[in-house]
Amino acid sequence: MVKSEPTSDIKRPKFIKPVKVLVVVAPYYKEIADDLVAGATAEISASGAEFEIVNVPGALEVPTAIGMASRLCDFDAYVALGCVIRGETSHYETVCNDSSKGLLMLGLQGLSIGNGILTVENINQAKERSDPKKLNKGAGAALAALSLLSLSLSWQEMSKDIGFKSSGST
């Protein structure tokens, strides 16, 4: 069993209706990506949800793929997975910042997204954060996406009768 990271009092959500999650993976570092996927899919399965996995060329393409899927498909939540390791150029900052901002923008539009794109200094840090026997960030990202979905669904059930009522209503 893959461990997820401790998340204070966040519990794994349970869903009444079927839930489908899209896991978008940038597998540039295959071993790391495979471990992140193992963590994410274990967490998704443990919640009773279904999932599909797609690969994209790199971390910059992850938000684009999620945006396209949100417009063209019927997924309830999204998990972004990948790994960016600092190199000798400023490309690291561009990839980290732009992929993160892209996911944030999609989240602010109402998508339930868990960001499991590792941004690390070296391969050892990546292995530590993706290890299925330790605190797997893929599992944490899946839990985040499912928690946001659960919150969104609970808010959809709340009444929108706020403000003024017409004189004909009681």
For residue 107, the tally of other CB atoms under 10 A from its CB is: 19
- Considering the candidates 14, 30, 91, 101, report the single residue annotated as catalytic: 91
Task: Give me the tens of pLDDT residue by residue for the chain, a chain 170 residues long.
Answer: 455 555 457 889 989 899 999 999 999 999 999 999 999 999 999 999 999 999 999 999 999 999 999 999 999 999 999 999 999 888 899 999 999 999 999 999 999 999 999 999 999 999 999 998 888 999 999 999 999 999 999 988 775 665 655 565 55
CATH superfamily ID and name for 20-153: Lumazine/riboflavin synthase (3.40.50.960)
10 is catalytic: no
Reference 64, options 117, 106, 23; nearest CA is: 106
Domain boundaries defined on the chain: 20-153
* Neighbouring residues of 37: CB distance < 8 A, sequence distance ≥ 6: 23, 25, 53, 81, 138
